[in-house]
Structure 1
């Protein structure tokens, strides 16, 4: 799978399997997540969706705070995700993907993040022209409240991944649908 980075960026990641989402691998003792959402059809939808994912537009449209100096995802870029102005989740982009029919990126957790793990956002266009968003992740609670949430925390993560698809479909989807 071609991607634009070399080895994963150095840094104080809070887990060892940096870059594992690139191959869909879930390390032992982590909870996997895989949510795939149909966005629309065609090259234009693919390009709009890929741009919205790579430039943080999808996240911002969801109401998630994104604090970064970068205009788009690139290996080594630090990003702090904020939820409700209360939860701050520092991350670093570990890989990006730039292929004719697949584009996306993943970030990994840094110290201070309530979770420990990695999350990837990939837009792909299949042979029949259908455009999909796939959110893949592995995680486990790092802070006490994330661990205490257990299954409820994982349910929120799945809901978040599904919402990514809904928002991206609205941002980039085929207006004819």
Structure 2
């Protein structure tokens, strides 16, 4: 994990009340405009650095695996099997980020803000965003659920931008 950059972020109470408000919705992590190579790098990155639970219909008898199989995902996309159930849970300390492999063009994950209960949990999430941006050499954003335009954090390498009012 990279050290956290010296950015000006709000205090924990503000983050808990805004970004991590447990309002019943999720928060999304996006890497936009991705290629299959980006997906392969993401899969290698999370398999190597984080605990993972991966489940895919038609793979391993449906039993969970501790690593994501990139070839299986590629074959699924090639076959147009969008409806297969595929879920990867990436564990960021106490926080679980879920990836469903919806489309090749965006890496999208979600997390439950109620799981981010402490400043240490927030630091785990932020470190993941920084590590992910660095590993892929792409911008990573944390947004409101299903709202790419409602950005809370914009991460480019070790540069972290907090947006206090993400709504358009």
* TM-score interval, smaller chain: 0.3 to 0.5
TM-score by length of 1: 0.35
TM-score, normalised on structure 2?
A: 0.37
Q: Which is richer in strand?
A: 1
